[in-house]
């Protein structure tokens, strides 16, 4: 009688029971993520450092700034620079004039750019593409070629040395880019939305006020933020069309800190710049909050 010996062969586990092998990307550090964070941190330092250095120089003693390292840390703190800044120039008037010019130009840019883009992109008409191209050509037109013709025209119609003399050209030269941004955004709005509103009896003005305008909040904020920097720092139009002291904007007002033989009171100038930059920073914070709110509202609706 023969005896057979049976050996039990181990059964391999099913593929479904095996734990998944970790991907190669998880087993080594994400180089792209680390590199992107380093780049973002470097950009943030480059953007923030000038503001910090500006503030530190504004509270630095004049002799310390002249004799020591201009980019080093201050050895003493003083607020006399702010007193001299208010004494040498009417900072309040300069800030008010810049706010009026910036707000007026931004309103014109947003209203004209949005309505023009709505007519070209949404309503549509014959030769609309040619009109869009004509507007975009304005981006390459240099500002300097309009100074002499505008000066002559303003003199003839008695518009020289007024707020509109600065607001109109600033808005005009910023309009092509604003129209391009609004047109690009309106192109992403589904056509079915406008067709459904038309079937409900809404006309073009009602569609613009009830659909297009509320959906364009983030684009409006972007246009305002981009153009406000250019308008706030404008020197060439203000220097050409403003003749009186009462209408000087901030870039013109800072010229008062240049003394005889080109001597500049740098610490007082930096103090004045700190004061005049503060309103623009506050406006940007408000606009940034509005943009975040608009993005969150759009995400919640979606």
138 and 175 Cβ atoms separated by less than 8 Å: yes
SS3 string, 106-174, reads: HHHHHHHHHHHHHHHHHHCCCCHHHHHHHHHHHHHCCHHHHHHHHHHHHHHCCCCCCHHHHHHHHHHHH
Helix (H, G, I), strand (E, B) or coil at 146: helix
CA contacts within 13 A on the Cβ side of 114 = 23
Whether the per-residue pLDDT at 147 is higher than 60: the answer is yes
Of all residues in the chain, what percent carry a pLDDT higher than 70?
Answer: 84
Q: Which CATH class is domain 90-257?
A: mainly alpha
Mean pLDDT of the chain: 81
DSSP class per residue in 195-264: HHHHHTT--HHHHIIIIIHHHTHHHHHHHHHHHHHHHHT--HHHHHH--SGGG--HHHHGGGGB-GGG-B
Question: Which of the residue ranges 15-19, 93-97, 282-286 would you say has the lowest mean pLDDT?
Answer: 15-19
| Greater model confidence, 165 or 12 | 165
Angle at the Cα of 185 from the Cα atoms of 181 and 189, rounded to 5 degrees? 165
Tell me the two tokens of residue 150: 């505008």
Helix (H, G, I), strand (E, B) or coil at 76: coil
| Greater model confidence, 115 or 292 | 115
Whether the per-residue pLDDT at 169 is higher than 90: the answer is yes
Q: How far apart are CA 39 and CA 285, in angstroms?
A: 23
What letters, b where the CB count within 10 A reaches 16 and e where it falls short, cover 98-132? bbebbebbbebbbebbbebbbebbbeeeeeeeeeb
151 and 237 Cβ atoms separated by less than 8 Å: no
83 and 270 Cβ atoms separated by less than 8 Å: no
Q: Would you list the domain boundaries of the chain?
A: 90-257
Residue among 84, 46, 98, 87 at smallest CA distance from 276: 98
Which pLDDT score, from 0 to 100, does residue 52 have?
86
At 100-124, the pLDDT tens digits run 999 999 999 999 999 999 988 888 8
Whether the per-residue pLDDT at 280 is higher than 70: the answer is yes
Number of H helices, E strands in the chain: 15, 0
Report residue 16's pLDDT band, with 50, 70 and 90 as the boundaries. low
Whether the per-residue pLDDT at 261 is higher than 60: the answer is no
Residue among 230, 247, 229 at smallest CA distance from 238: 247
């Amino acid at each position: 009688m023969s005896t057979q010996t049976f050996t039990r062969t181990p059964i391999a586990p099913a593929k479904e029971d095996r734990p998944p092998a970790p991907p190669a990307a998880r087993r080594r550090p994400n180089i792209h993520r680390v590199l992107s964070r380093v780049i973002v941190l470097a950009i943030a330092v480059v953007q923030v450092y000038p503001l910090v250095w500006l503030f530190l120089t504004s509270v630095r003693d004049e002799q310390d700034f002249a004799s020591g390292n201009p980019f080093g840390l201050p050895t003493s703190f003083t607020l006399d620079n702010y007193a001299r800044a208010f004494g040498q120039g009417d900072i309040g008037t300069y800030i008010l004039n810049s706010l009026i010019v910036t707000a007026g130009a931004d309103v014109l840019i947003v209203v004209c750019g949005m309505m023009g883009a709505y007519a070209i992109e949404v309503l549509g008409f014959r030769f609309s593409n040619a009109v869009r191209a004509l507007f975009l050509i304005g981006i390459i037109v240099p500002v300097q070629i309009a100074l002499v013709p505008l000066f002559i025209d303003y003199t003839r119609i008695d518009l020289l040395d007024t707020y509109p003399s600065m607001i109109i050209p600033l808005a005009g030269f910023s309009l092509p880019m604003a129209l391009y941004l609004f047109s690009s955004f309106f192109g992403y709005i589904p056509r079915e939305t406008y067709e459904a509103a038309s079937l409900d009896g809404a006309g073009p003005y009602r569609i613009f006020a009830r659909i297009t305008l509320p959906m364009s909040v983030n684009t409006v904020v972007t246009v305002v933020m981009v153009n406000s920097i250019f308008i706030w720092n404008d020197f060439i139009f203000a220097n050409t069309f403003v003749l009186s002291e009462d209408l000087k904007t901030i870039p013109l007002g800072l010229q008062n800190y240049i003394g005889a033989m080109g001597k500049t009171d740098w610490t007082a100038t930096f103090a004045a710049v700190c004061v005049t930059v503060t309103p623009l920073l506050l406006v940007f914070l408000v606009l940034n909050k509005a943009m975040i709110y608009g993005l969150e509202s759009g995400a919640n609706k979606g």
